[in-house]
Amino acid sequence: IFTSSSAFHNFVEIIKKYNIDIQNLKLASIGKSTTKTMEEYGVKPVFTAKQSNNEGIVEEIKQLFTISS
């Protein structure tokens, strides 16, 4: 889960050194700005929190793992 664009930029620089394909990773974003940065690298996050804070992330995780009947 990325909480800022700069954190994602830094992550990309680090994983380049290890030849990791970023497209194979499941990543998430705290908000629209961070998602935009991720998309610039061709990454579609699993989710973007509707509220750009910890509570927003928790809500998205709860929804992701809730099994509907």
pLDDT in tens, 1-59: 999 999 999 999 999 999 999 988 999 999 999 999 999 999 999 999 999 999 999 99
Contact by Cβ (8 Å): 41, 7:
no
Rounded Cα distance, 69 and 56, in Å: 24
Rounded Cα distance, 67 and 23, in Å: 26
Asked if residue 67 has pLDDT above 90, the reply is: no
Burial bucket for residue 7 (CB in 10 Å: 0-12, 13-18, 19+): middle
Asked if residue 69 has pLDDT above 60, the reply is: no
Rounded Cα distance, 15 and 5, in Å: 16
| pTM (whole model) above 0.75 | yes
